[in-house]
């Protein structure tokens, strides 16, 4: 210990307590003297009053001392009282805890006990600063009792302590701050400049906080993603676009030299903001390498310096963004050159904000006025897209952004940008029109028509007529002639509909071969029925395709609002129901929606919802129409006909539900059941000794196009022990023209089982004779509509003769459907048609009834 350390020093708090004790002892002696009665009465009274006053004063002094000690020890940082020589006179509780020493090891000793590294004359600079009336601040390393060191920042000030100048020193522990500084020291050397580190390929490795702020990158965003080059448009000081390989970092990497103070304009394509940076890029070399492995770029934001320059205007022109500022007190409007070009006022700059507002549409103007007023009231910003006109009448779309000056507490100035977005808006409108337009016909598409229907139905009291048009048998034409020819027909149909519906109608191709026409009508306009008739007649002439003429008709459904529906979907569904009724009535006609159709439509929906459960509920059953010899009436075979015993609608023929079954795919499951039931019934008849040569079953194209049908037939025949020859499958001509590989494979597999294949309703569609030759077909069925007019209708007679001639020429069997009169039977016999079915002999009857009939005619 130094000799100076041995001087008497003391705890200032202890000295105060000792003085108080000495005063209390003196007062006790005085009290004892008063009690002895050695003083005169008056003098005793005066002394007693003085004693009471001194007691009160001592109590106040003691309270103040205790309060001072409490405050001294309540401070969270170590606080020491030091004399002029650097001796510690007192230390608070936080100091004793921080240094881990008892009071006796510290108080009365020089501060070297806490910091042994201090020089002998360390108090000289302290007093030099304090004597100037300033605080002395220093960072040092103090030591705990266990010898461990920790950094502190010591703030020292002088105060008068009972006539002596002492120092109060507060030591703030810097351990946490020093650790934080060490972590960030390598990342940033200067807080006000941005720093980016990139590898030799230009990929961003890291950036300092200043860089993140300058680029507006939020905390948590990936720096490399935010600074992907394609998100930015970069220009040089002349406004010329700079490509990635010509950026300062890439030039520094390529040439291995520092690229200094390059001015760059960075336009962010998403936020539409332009910033100017002064960039210096320095290549970095790894030890023992001759080529740089990374580059460090240091940059400063110089956007403010560039705001009013011609270079900034040039960059604005490239980005089609102009700047503006409105000084409300001076009523002065500032616009950059690009802003003037955007509004078309280069030669006639507006004097104030109201002049620009006159160029904005009446619809958008109130929104801009309110946004500006709100900025003056509340501050903040706005971002609007507005429509207007330039002085020459040219259409203008602009994005207007404004904000209150942040340095202006009373908001007297507004600044912002003005971007020309006319091209984008025009493109959006073009795409919007395309999105609602059918590309083939140029009419509206489904979305476009539904929007138009919704819009027009929104006007109260408006009467509308909706026409649902479907081209009859278009799919057959499309399948036979090909899609190119089908497209030509659709284009021609659209042109005919446009003429027939009139110039005020809204027309749409709703999908496939379906069209919609929407017309307004009132007492003075043309009746909807007249338009429907004109649409139907528009298809009276055939369509000429590849030097050939094809006849195509239309079925039209009409529904009117408000009586037939006030919602788009309701009106559309009712027009659709009317169209289907027109088809049911033979096509090539129109029908108006009525309550009867509403009920039928409800039945249709009911059928669709219950069709799938009908099989599980055993609601299907078969009836059989006998196929007989036209010569002697002997029953040769039968056609199995499906019936649905609906719980609420009664007995339904396939016409009522087969289309829904086709659409949902349930026809495959139902068809397999029919084949199985027919085979089971054939087996039952054979066991009963009734020889029926074959039973015909109708199959759909969905069944044939799949690969399940041959397996289903084989399983049904095998289960009943029947040969394939007892089963005949009837299909429409549609199967012929589809001629898919799956169709051919299914036909071959069925023929290998011995099953007969027959074309049903031959001649109703576009018969492809070439396919009759190529595919393994056994026979044809003459359609009932052709037989109805014989023998009196010459056209029907000619068609029947042609079909019979084709069958005989190709060696195919032929069976006539719908034989109802004796004249028809004789006519068929004369044609060489020996097999037929129809009401002349029997309708479709139950298996039991057919059994009895076979027994009677045996």
**What are the tens digits of pLDDT across the range 615-660?**
888 899 999 999 999 999 999 999 999 999 887 778 888 887 887 7
- Phi and psi (nearest 5°) for 41? -60, -50
Q: What is the pLDDT of residue 1?
A: 35
pLDDT for residue 7 is more than 50: no
The β-bridge partners of 68 are none
712 pLDDT band, cuts 50/70/90, is very high
pLDDT for residue 65 is more than 80: no
Those residues whose C-beta lies under 8 Å from the C-beta of residue 174, and which sit 6 or more positions away, are 139, 150, 151, 152, 153
Q: What is the pLDDT of residue 8?
A: 40
41 pLDDT band, cuts 50/70/90, is confident
Residues 492, 556: contact at Cβ < 8 Å? no
Structure token digits, residue 838: 């129809």
Those residues whose C-beta lies under 8 Å from the C-beta of residue 9, and which sit 6 or more positions away, are 83, 87, 88, 89, 107, 108, 109
Report pLDDT digits (tens) over 723-734.
Answer: 999 999 998 877
- Preceding peptide of 791 cis, ω within 30°: yes
Q: What is the mean pLDDT of residues 746-761?
A: 91
pLDDT for residue 6 is more than 70: no
Higher pLDDT, 496 or 457: 496
DSSP letter at 527 equals P
pTM for the whole structure = 0.43
672 pLDDT band, cuts 50/70/90, is very high
Query: E strands within 528-573?
Result: 543-545, 548-550, 554-561
pLDDT mean across residues, the chain: 84
Angstrom CA distances, 85 to 109, 114, 157, 167, 431, stand at: 10, 15, 15, 10, 87
Residues 403, 414: contact at Cβ < 8 Å? yes
231 pLDDT band, cuts 50/70/90, is confident
Least confident of 220-224, 728-732, 745-749: 220-224
Residues 280, 297: contact at Cβ < 8 Å? yes
Q: What is the pLDDT of residue 460?
A: 62
Least confident of 2-16, 250-264, 428-442, 689-703: 2-16
* Cα 506 to the center of its chain, rounded Å: 31
Task: Please tell me the distance from the alpha carbon of residue 23 to that of residue 279, in angstroms, as a whole number.
Answer: 76
Q: What is the mean pLDDT of residues 823-832?
A: 94
pLDDT for residue 326 is more than 90: no
Half-sphere exposure of 723 (CA within 13 A, CB side): 8
Place of tokens 């609002």: 561
Q: What is the mean pLDDT of residues 341-353?
A: 88
How many CB atoms lie under 10 A from the CB of residue 782? 27
Q: What is the pLDDT of residue 477?
A: 76
Task: Please tell me the distance from the alpha carbon of residue 185 to that of residue 613, in angstroms, as a whole number.
Answer: 76
5 pLDDT band, cuts 50/70/90, is very low
Q: What is the pLDDT of residue 813?
A: 93
pLDDT for residue 714 is more than 80: yes
Higher pLDDT, 581 or 281: 281
| Longest CA–CA separation in the chain, Å | 173
DSSP SS3 for 815: strand
Residues 381, 404: contact at Cβ < 8 Å? yes
Q: What is the mean pLDDT of residues 424-430?
A: 84
Least confident of 305-314, 384-393, 651-660: 305-314
Q: What is the pLDDT of residue 290?
A: 87
pLDDT for residue 406 is more than 80: no
pLDDT for residue 550 is more than 80: no
Residues 471, 551: contact at Cβ < 8 Å? no
Q: What is the pLDDT of residue 531?
A: 92
Least confident of 78-92, 178-192, 250-264: 178-192
Q: What is the pLDDT of residue 351?
A: 83
Higher pLDDT, 30 or 287: 287
10 pLDDT band, cuts 50/70/90, is very low
The radius of gyration of the chain from alpha carbons, rounded to an integer in Å, stands at 52
Higher pLDDT, 437 or 32: 437
Higher pLDDT, 679 or 472: 679
């Amino acid at each position: 210990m130094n000799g100076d350390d041995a001087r008497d020093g003391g705890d200032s708090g202890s000295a105060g307590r000792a003085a108080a004790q000495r005063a209390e002892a003196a007062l006790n002696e005085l009290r004892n003297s008063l009690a002895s009665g050695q003083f005169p009465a008056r003098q005793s009274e005066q002394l007693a009053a003085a004693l009471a006053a001194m007691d009160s004063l001592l109590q106040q002094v003691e309270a103040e001392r205790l309060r001072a000690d409490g405050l001294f020890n309540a401070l969270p940082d170590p606080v020491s009282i030091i004399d002029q020589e650097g001796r510690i006179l007192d230390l608070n509780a936080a100091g004793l805890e921080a240094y881990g020493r008892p009071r006796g090891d510290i108080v009365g000793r020089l501060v070297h006990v806490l910091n042994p590294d201090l020089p002998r004359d360390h108090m000289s600079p302290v007093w030099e600063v304090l004597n100037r009336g300033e605080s002395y601040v220093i960072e040092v390393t103090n030591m705990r009792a266990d010898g461990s060191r920790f950094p502190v920042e010591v703030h020292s000030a002088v105060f008068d302590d009972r006539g002596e100048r002492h120092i109060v020193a507060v030591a703030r522990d810097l351990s946490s701050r020093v650790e934080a500084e060490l972590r960030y020291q390598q990342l940033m050397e200067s807080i006000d400049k941005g720093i980016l580190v990139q590898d030799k390929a230009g990929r961003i490795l890291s950036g300092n906080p200043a860089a993140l702020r300058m680029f507006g990158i939020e905390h948590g965003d990936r720096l490399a993603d935010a600074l992907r080059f394609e998100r930015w448009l970069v220009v040089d000081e002349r406004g010329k676009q700079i490509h990635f390989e010509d950026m300062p970092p890439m030039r520094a990497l390529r040439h291995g030299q520092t690229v200094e103070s390059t001015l760059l304009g960075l336009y962010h394509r998403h936020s539409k903001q332009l910033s100017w940076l002064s960039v210096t890029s320095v290549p970095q070399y790894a030890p023992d390498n001759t080529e740089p492995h990374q580059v460090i770029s240091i940059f400063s934001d110089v956007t403010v310096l560039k705001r009013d320059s011609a270079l900034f205007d040039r960059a604005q022109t490239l980005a089609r963004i102009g700047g503006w500022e409105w000084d409300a007190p001076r009523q002065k409007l500032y616009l950059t050159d690009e802003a003037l070009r955007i509004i078309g006022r280069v030669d006639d700059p507006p004097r104030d904000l109201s002049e620009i507002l006159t160029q904005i549409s009446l619809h958008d103007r109130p929104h801009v006025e309110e946004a500006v007023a709100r900025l003056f009231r509340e501050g903040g910003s706005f971002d609007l897209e507005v429509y207007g006109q330039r002085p020459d009448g040219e259409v203008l779309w602009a994005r207007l952004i404004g904000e209150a000056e942040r340095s202006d507490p009373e908001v007297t100035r507004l600044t912002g940008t003005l971007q020309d977005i006319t091209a984008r808006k025009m493109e959006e409108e073009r795409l919007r029109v395309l999105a609602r337009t059918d590309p083939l016909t140029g009419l509206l598409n489904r979305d476009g028509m539904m929007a138009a229907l919704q819009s027009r139905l929104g006007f109260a009291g408006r009467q509308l007529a909706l026409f649902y048009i479907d081209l009859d048998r278009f799919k057959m034409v499309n399948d036979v002639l090909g899609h190119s020819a089908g497209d030509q027909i659709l284009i021609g149909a659209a042109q005919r509909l446009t003429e027939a519906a009139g110039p005020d109608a809204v027309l749409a191709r709703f999908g496939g071969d379906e069209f919609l026409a929407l017309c307004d009508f009132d007492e003075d306009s043309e009746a909807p029925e007249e338009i429907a008739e004109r649409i139907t007649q528009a298809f009276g002439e055939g369509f000429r395709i590849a030097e050939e003429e094809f006849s195509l008709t239309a079925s039209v459904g009409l529904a009117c609002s408000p009586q037939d529906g006030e919602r788009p979907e309701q009106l559309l569904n009712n027009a659709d129901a009317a169209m289907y009724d027109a088809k049911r009535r033979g096509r090539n006609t129109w029908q108006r929606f009525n309550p009867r159709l509403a009920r039928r439509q409800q039945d249709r929906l009911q059928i669709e919802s219950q069709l799938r459960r009908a099989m599980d509920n055993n609601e299907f059953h078969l009836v059989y129409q006998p196929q007989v010899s036209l010569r002697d009436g002997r029953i040769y075979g039968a056609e199995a006909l499906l019936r649905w015993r609906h719980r609420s609608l009664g007995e339904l023929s396939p016409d009522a539900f087969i289309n829904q079954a086709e659409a949902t795919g349930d026809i495959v499951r139902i068809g397999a059941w029919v084949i199985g039931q027919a085979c089971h019934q054939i087996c039952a008849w054979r066991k009963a000794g009734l020889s029926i040569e074959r039973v015909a079953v109708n199959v759909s194209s969905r069944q044939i196009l799949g690969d399940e049908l041959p397996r289903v037939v084989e399983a049904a025949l095998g289960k009943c022990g029947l040969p394939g020859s007892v089963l005949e499958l009837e299909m429409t001509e549609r199967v012929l023209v589809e001629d898919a590989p799956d169709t051919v494979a299914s036909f071959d597999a069925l023929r290998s089982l011995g099953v007969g294949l027959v074309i049903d309703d031959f001649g109703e569609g576009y018969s492809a004779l070439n396919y009759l030759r190529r595919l393994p077909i056994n026979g044809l069925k003459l359609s009932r509509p052709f037989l109805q007019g014989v023998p009196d209708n010459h056209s029907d007679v000619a068609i029947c003769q042609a079909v019979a001639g084709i069958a005989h020429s190709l060696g195919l069997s032929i069976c006539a459907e719908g034989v109802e009169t004796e004249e028809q039977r004789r006519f068929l016999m004369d044609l060489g048609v020996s097999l037929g079915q129809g009401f002349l002999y029997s309708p479709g009857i139950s298996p039991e009834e057919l059994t009895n009939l076979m027994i009677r005619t045996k």
